[in-house]
Structure 1
Amino acid sequence: MSKIKVSAVSYTNTLPFLQGVKASEKLLHQIDLSVDVPAECARKVIQDEVDMGIIPVAALTRIPNYHIITDYCIGSDGAVDSVFIFSTKPIEEITSLRLDKQSRTSNGLARILLKHYWKREVAVTMEEEADAYVLIGDRTFGQKETVPYVYDLGEIWKKFTGLPFAYAVWVSNKKLSDDFVKDFNAALRDGVSHPTDVIDGLKSYPNFDYKEYLTEYLDFNLDAGKREAISRYLEFYKELEEIDFKGV
């Protein structure tokens, strides 16, 4: 039987999932696992280079027949502490925003909140200097105290909608067997049941607490509120003007 190709994200927020997957001998016999940045995970799923992956939710618009196949996600109910707009001036004064090349979803979230929450129309760029910039994942660790103005997009989304948020979900581009999905779900459940086990050996950062991040900021359960948030986000996202984004 050919193995199911799986792409996972290389960020700390996915390590609890990976520890569950790697601890399941039954599952490891069934998969071929690669680890990538979010945009690359999405590209591989979209282009059918892998069968499934944990992908930014904006990429769902580019998969004709996607299947959200697990009960787990990268999510938060409020502040997430790794998806930010960093700014040199108050958000009410910015006129330009540089986007993050690693995740279309967070770029979309920033643009949605600027338009609908802050009521700001700003120029967006992928390359040029700007008043503010989107930054996500491990690259934000220890950075909050180095920038004059910091806006946690999970926190602002909660203020705007009253909903939690799901940044990335486990998605397949084809129907997978019920037995495999059951095994994969069980492995994820095991991994997120003890998330702080992944901390040992991770690089330390000033003013950043891995335990707090993994247990208080991240919420791995793909519950009804996060599913509603995905639907709301995709409605807003479809209204955005397309930009030249080299990832997906």
Structure 2
Amino acid sequence: MAASHQSLGQVEQFNCNPKEGMPWLLLPISQRIQDFSANRSTTLIQQSTTPPLGPASPLILGTVPYQVGAPLLEGLDAHPGVELRQQVPTQLIRSLRAGELEGALVSSIEAFRRPGLLALNHLGIACDGEVASVRLFCRKAPQDVKSLALDDSSATSVALTRVLLKKRYGARIMEESRIPPTLQPDSIDADAVLMIGDFGVAAQSNRPFILDLGEEWARWKNLPFVFALWLFRCPEPRVREASEILMDCRMKAKQRATSDGTGGRICHDLDPRFLAGLEEFHNEAASLGLCEASIQPVWVGPPR
């Protein structure tokens, strides 16, 4: 798909249907998957230099290229105070760590891996039961899984897979491999194959055990699960500025009934029960050495 080099802070043409100007997240899943496969590592903002930070500088934010995040992003690409970039979750983590982003909608486990991060406690990508977009395709019963193939686009989904297999089912994983996203998990020679995002929704499989990881977590813990949070590496006033903008985007999405592509299974407004589920995941992941038990972000509440 042709790219259009635009001014700083504007999204490239990759985000739109070139014939109709349709936002990329509203295209059919099959078209988004085709575009995403061809552009998996592409940053969707064309920029020549990173602008100096200051009172008038735009917020440099990163988001995921999945429709599950659309109800958090309504109008964000057009906001004059934001320079927006889209990357897969694991690349967002690298960009945030490198200081290339001030904030990002990123895998929640990152909040417990790096000290000094600030996190919004009221917006995220979560579920309270079935999630539909994060699925594990198993050719054996979960307790018998020994080889695991991971789409590692999401650090949280990879960690949740390990937690569920090892701690819920007692599986002994002997072999792990990384794979690119695919719609045909049965073609992968592994006992279990993890797919996430639009690929997780659309993948087809005849394997006898297909686990929805949100549903598995809820059955085990009777708690919701938080897959992604807005995390920041910038001064708190900048975070509060971002919070106001992001809350405005969330309100617009509610007014316009923006779809998440999962039939409404995704929750985007967090409350104390979601944060309790997140802390339980923190504890379970830390017990396997997947994050640090002692690390917590600085939580920032909604605008008053």
TM-score bracket for the superposition, by shorter chain length: 0.7 to 0.9
Match of 1:138 among 174, 198, 201: 198
1:70-123 alpha-carbon deviations (Å, 9 max, x no partner): 521111100100111111122232212122221111111011111221122222
**Residue aligning to 2:278:** 230
CA drift of 1:214 comes to: 4.0
- Count of residue pairs the alignment pairs up: 225
Q: Are 1:38 and 2:89 an aligned pair?
A: yes
Shift of 1:31: 1.1
Contact 1:16–1:194 (CA under 8 A) maintained in structure 2: no
How far apart, CA to CA, are the structure 1 residues paired with 2:277 and 2:152? Answer: 23
Unaligned 5+ runs, structure 2: 1-55, 180-188, 292-304
Shift of 1:235: 1.4
TM-score between the two structures when normalised by the length of structure 1: 0.82
Corresponding letter in the other structure for 2:243? V
Shifted more, 87-96 versus 185-194: the winner is 185-194
Instruction: Give the Cα separation in 1 of the matches to 2:232 and 2:178.
Output: 32
**2:145, 2:172 within 8 Å by CA — same for their partners in 1?**
no
- The structural deviation recorded for 1:157 is 0.3
Structure 2 residue aligned with 1:14: 69
Task: State whether structure 2 residue 246 is matched by structure 1 residue 184.
Answer: yes
2:298 paired residue number = none
Alignment check: 8 A CA contact 1:76 1:154 kept: yes
Distance in 1 separating the partners of 2:110 and 2:193:
21
1:1-248 equivalences in 2 (<5 Å): 1-22=56-77, 28-69=79-120, 71-127=122-178, 129-177=189-237, 178-196=240-258, 210=261, 213-215=262-264, 217-241=265-289
The 3 A distance-change label for structure 1 pair 227 and 70 is closer
- Alpha-carbon distance in structure 1 between the residues aligned to 2:242 and 2:199: 33
Deviation at 1:185, TM superposition (A): 1.7
Q: Distance in 2 between matches of 1:168 and 1:13?
A: 11
Q: Which residue of structure 1 lines up, in the alignment, with residue 4 of structure 2?
A: none
Q: Distance in 2 between matches of 1:183 and 1:172?
A: 14
Cα distance change of structure 1 residues 184 and 241 upon mapping to structure 2, 3 Å threshold:
closer
For the pair shown, the structure with the greater C-alpha radius of gyration is: 2
Counterpart amino acid of residue 169 in structure 2: W
Deviation, 1:37, is 0.6
- What is the deviation of 1:231? 1.1
Aligned equivalents of 1:134 and 1:19: distance in 2? 29
Please tell me whether the aligned partners of residues 9 and 38 of structure 1 are also in contact (alpha carbons under 8 angstroms): yes
How far off its partner does 1:9 sit?
Answer: 0.2
Return the offset for 1:145: 4.4
Structure 2 distance, partners of 1:153, 1:94, is: 15
Q: Distance in 2 between matches of 1:109 and 1:79?
A: 14
1:126 is displaced (CA, Å) by 2.3
Deviation at 1:5, TM superposition (A): 0.5
Q: Percent identity?
A: 24
